[in-house]
Structure 1
Amino acid sequence: MSLNKDGSYTGFIKVQLKLVRPVSVPASKRPPTLQDARRGPGRSTAVRRRTSFYLPKDAVKHLHVLSRTRAREVIEALLRKFLVVDDPRKFALFERAERHGQVYLRKLSDDEQPLRLRLLAGPNEKALSFVLKENDSGEVNWDAFSMPELHNFLRILQREEEEHLRQILQKYSCCRQKIQEALHACPLG
């Protein structure tokens, strides 16, 4: 870390990516180059075509940040580095700490300053490290999804509903058949 004249400081933080779901990147005819990653996607321009893929499991990225850089800005920087066009609100930054053989995760608020937390924790990475994960707060933030993603959800739900209905109809059709067979087998007395 280095101290600036204004009293702020700069340094590196290491963030481990533990994403379970695929991420979206702009679809292109060629794979992104290292120069593309450095430039980052123009977030102000709408991406018309996307492709999705899974980031490598437990990928680690080092970021050079200021002491006043907030957790939300760290998330946005990570997404720019990997050319991810998904809404940053879909992701959350967590602090990870190991104590007495137990691993503890705590979601950082958008305004917390990761470099400051790293400095306060000391050099031991087991005392504090950072993890980027999906923002699973239990409630769905529908505003974070694009219209194509929402339409895709509806298609998936429609297919699941149709399959469930087919299974129910099949089950009761089988029951009806067994009842009719039992009625025909019983002599009327």
Structure 2
Amino acid sequence: MTLGSSMSSGYCSWDEELEDCFFTAKTSFSRSAQNKTLVKIVAKPADEEKHKPLTVQELKQKIDDFNAKVKSCLLMKLNEDGTYTGFIKVHLKLRRPVTVPAGIRPQSIYDALKEVNMADMTDKRTSFYLPLDAVKQLHISSTTTVSEVIQGLLKKFMVVDNPQKFALFKEMQKDGQVLFQKLSLTEYPLYLRLLAGPDTDVLSFVLKENETGEVEWDAFSIPELQNFLMILDKEEKDKIQQVQSKYGRFKQKLQQTLKEAGGKPG
């Protein structure tokens, strides 16, 4: 599997002053929503749990149909052994910062899938936000699973967070709603791409935090937990300052109005 694009800056070291430490790649600490589109997480229908295997002839026909609709050079290719390769795009929509070893350059695309234990490389950690609109292009095989896609993305960016903290979703649009379905770790994203066609409005892939309803705090390291506390404290102070500033301006306008209206009949 080959991964494209590069890491964005906007990070801090644990050794730096906390006051200057946390900022995003977009210079804004707030991770507010980008739009007001209704988003809904939906359960996977029972009839989608398993797909009927395609014959080699059916695969060839579907791949030919797929390639006929592709407007770029990102075509699918059928191999002699019945497997096929192609490209998928993954949108990274992570609301929390990710953790990487401090002072180490990101891996090249050729090193992205090597079995390297990043946690053993350094004890120092650097945390940063990935841009909300980041899109990574992957060249994968029909045998590449969701689990391998997630691990490949994390290795690309040298993220040392537990892969179980992340999940791959398929995003669809229906009746003005954006629908998300969480994919199981054993599903094959390229097969889903083939069935849906190349139109990303019909189907796109999104990497998000693995929301299980209850946060499994035991899965986080002490530095990560300390990081979350400092981020929450900074967000709280920023919010308090915004509210105080807002009502301070309102108070000034009210006092000015009362002063101008003084002595005049009400």
TM-score normalized by the length of structure 2: 0.52
Which residue of 127, 136, 152 corresponds with 1:52? 127
In structure 2, what is the equivalent of residue 123 of structure 1? 198
Residue 39 of structure 1 aligns to a residue whose secondary structure is: coil
| Contact 2:88-2:139 within 8 A present in 1 as well | yes
2:117 aligned residue: 43
| Bigger-Rg structure (1/2) | 1
Kept in 1, the 8 Å contact 2:87–2:190? The answer is: yes
> 1:183 is matched with which residue?
none
Which ranges in structure 2 are unaligned for 5 or more consecutive residues? Answer: 1-75, 234-266
CA distance in 2, matches of 1:38, 1:23: 22
Residue 99 of structure 1 is matched in structure 2 by: 174
Deviations 1:104-161 (A, max 9, x none): 10011111111100100112111100000111111233453234435x38x949xx9x
1:38–1:81: 8 Å Cα contact kept in structure 2?
A: no
Unmatched segments (≥5 aa) in structure 1: 161-189
Residues 1:108 and 2:175 are matched in the alignment: no
Distance 2:147 2:167 in 1: 8
Distance change >3 Å, CA 126–CA 156, structure 1 → 2: closer
Alignment length (residue pairs)? 153
Shift of 1:48: 1.2
Aligned to 1:97, what secondary structure does the other structure show? strand
Q: How many angstroms does 1:34 deviate by?
A: 6.1
Pairing 1:32–2:102 present: no
TM-score with structure 1 setting the length: 0.72
Structure having the higher helix fraction is 1
Percent of pairs with identical residues: 57
RMSD across aligned C-alpha pairs, in angstroms?
A: 2.4
| Counterpart residue identity of residue 123, structure 1 | P
